[in-house]
């Protein structure tokens, strides 16, 4: 990513009030509309905008972000969109929506029904809202700063397991040489200690699963903000812990460890 994606530091802090109901409604409307579009095209021939050695960019990624952008900026024309498919709106403004229109594009392209839409809202660098939507399972995670995280309206809690030997952990890493060199030793180390390791192909859903207690941890050495912004807020609000560190050579890439509150995965 180039300099155009440079952004202020991210802070995940807790507020005492929960005044974001209109913003939350906007995010939910946007993910539902994008999800409808993605269900309509799932399993059908797709146009590829770019095919890299280990990644795919679909025309549908762009269409989904454009749809989300239209819904948000029609309601809040002075806001900004910071998305995987580009920037729109007033980037110098107070509010910035962080959008991953399809998190799990390769899964989607291959007909694997494990992908989602992720939207977060930050105000002056502080994340105040997060929504993750799995359109194939019709599962919607949402959280507002200071409020309880929910899955389809029901409050969710991070894993309460306290034994590493009982844990299920997702280890993610891209196919870059650096990511493989750092990811494979970690995978081998953890695989001997936990019940199961998984690589599911959607960082946002991994975080949603941690927030719901379906998985005990998600670990990845190089991930973008749009992949994790909503999920970080979910995990922390659900009683879990997150360690999110920007790369020294690229502040728009992060390493992340997210887990339930009773096993110290940060120490592994």
Compute the C-alpha angle 123/124/128, nearest 5°. 30
- Measuring CA to CA, how many Å separate 7 from each of 3, 4, 130, 257? 9, 9, 18, 21
As annotated, the residues of the chain forming the CATH 3.40.190.80 domain(s) are 164-262
pLDDT tens for 25-38 read 999 999 999 999 99
Report the CATH fold assignment for 3-155: Fructose-1,6-Bisphosphatase; Chain A, domain 1 (3.30.540)
Q: What is the pTM of this model?
A: 0.88
pLDDT class for 4, splitting at 50, 70, 90? very low
Q: Please check whether the domain covering 164-262 is classified as CATH 3.40.190.80.
A: yes
User: Which is higher by pLDDT, 127 or 184?
Assistant: 127
Span 230-237, average pLDDT? 98
As annotated, the residues of the chain forming the CATH 3.30.540.10 domain(s) are 3-155
**How far apart are the C-alpha atoms of 203 and 56, rounded to whole Å?**
16
**How far apart are the C-alpha atoms of 185 and 50, rounded to whole Å?**
31
**How far apart are the C-alpha atoms of 93 and 249, rounded to whole Å?**
26
């Amino acid at each position: 990513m180039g300099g155009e994606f440079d952004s202020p530091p991210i802070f995940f802090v807790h507020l005492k009030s929960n005044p974001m109901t209109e913003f939350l409604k906007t995010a939910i409307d946007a993910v539902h509309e994008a999800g409808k579009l993605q269900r309509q095209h799932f399993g059908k021939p797709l146009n590829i905008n770019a095919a890299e050695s280990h990644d795919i960019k679909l025309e549908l990624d762009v269409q989904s972000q454009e749809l989300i952008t239209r819904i948000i900026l029609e309601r809040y024309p002075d806001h900004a969109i910071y998305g995987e498919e580009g920037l729109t709106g007033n980037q110098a403004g107070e509010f910035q929506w962080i959008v991953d229109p399809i998190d799990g594009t390769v899964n989607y392209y291959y007909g694997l029904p494990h992908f989602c839409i992720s939207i977060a809202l930050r105000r002056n660098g502080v994340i105040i809202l997060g929504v993750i939507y799995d359109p194939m399972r019709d599962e919607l995670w949402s959280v507002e700063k200071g409020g309880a995280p929910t899955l389809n309206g029901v409050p969710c809690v991070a894993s309460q397991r306290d034994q590493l030997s009982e844990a299920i952990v997702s280890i993610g890493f891209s196919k870059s040489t650096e990511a493989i060199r750092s990811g494979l030793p970690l995978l081998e180390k953890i695989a001997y200690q936990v019940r199961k390791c998984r690589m599911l192909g959607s960082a946002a859903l991994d975080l949603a699963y941690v927030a719901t207690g379906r998985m005990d941890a998600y670990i990845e050495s190089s991930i973008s903000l749009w992949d994790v912004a909503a999920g970080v807020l979910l995990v922390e609000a659900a009683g879990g812990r997150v360690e999110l560190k920007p790369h020294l050579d690229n502040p728009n890439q992060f390493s992340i460890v997210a887990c339930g509150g009773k096993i110290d995965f940060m120490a592994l």
